[in-house]
């Protein structure tokens, strides 16, 4: 076991962390480890493939990391988003910059094209979000749902319709 894995296990034991940790380095994947439970009520453990319904919960962390990259000179606020995204998210205009993304001024709207013949019910919560006041409420609605995300570019979460008990 690597020193990184040992340090991480120690931190998890000390803090009670529940989630998934992935560390990518210059040579590729260095570590991926899951801890704790994805569903406490049913004692279902987290796995490296567990998809968490975190919505906008990481916007602040993302901004912090991006600004650190700007500080280190790896990015600038005028860097074109396209140069980072490559072919991902092709509807994002070439003129959109990192600054636009951070300030929510990119002009990027809803990435779902409502004009296509899609069953949008697969992308909606089955109840109004304000009814999900507790973790338990949210878990009742998310159990058995499908989610998809695009790590390292944009997070597009799709929640399949399920029935919620209140």
List 2, 18, 56, 76, catalytic entry: 56
Question: Strand, coil or helix: what is 17?
Answer: coil
Do strands 28-35 and 19-25 pair parallel, antiparallel, or not at all (unpaired)?
Answer: antiparallel
56 catalytic per annotation:
yes
Do the Cβ atoms of 54 and 45 come closer than 8 Å?
no
The Cα 43–Cα 49 span in angstroms is 16
Do the Cβ atoms of 48 and 65 come closer than 8 Å?
no
Tokens linked to 2: 């690597």
**H-type alpha helices, 72-147:** 81-85, 98-102, 135-142
Residues annotated as catalytic (active site), given as ranges = 56
């Amino acid at each position: 076991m690597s020193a990184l894995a040992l340090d991480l296990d120690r931190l998890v034991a000390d803090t009670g962390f529940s989630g998934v940790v992935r560390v990518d380095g210059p040579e590729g994947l260095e570590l991926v480890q899951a801890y704790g439970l994805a569903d406490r009520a049913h004692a279902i453990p987290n796995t490296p493939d567990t998809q968490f319904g975190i919505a906008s919960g990481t916007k602040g962390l993302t901004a912090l990391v991006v600004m650190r990259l700007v500080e280190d000179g790896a990015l600038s606020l005028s860097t074109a988003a396209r140069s980072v995204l490559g072919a991902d998210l092709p509807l994002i205009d070439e003129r959109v910059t990192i600054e636009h993304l951070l300030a929510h001024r990119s002009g990027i709207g809803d990435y779902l094209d409502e004009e296509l013949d899609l069953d949008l019910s697969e992308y909606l919560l089955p109840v109004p979000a304000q009814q999900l006041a507790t973790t338990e409420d949210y878990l009742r609605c998310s159990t058995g749902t499908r989610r998809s995300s695009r790590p390292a570019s944009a997070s597009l979460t799709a929640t399949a319709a399920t029935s919620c008990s209140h």
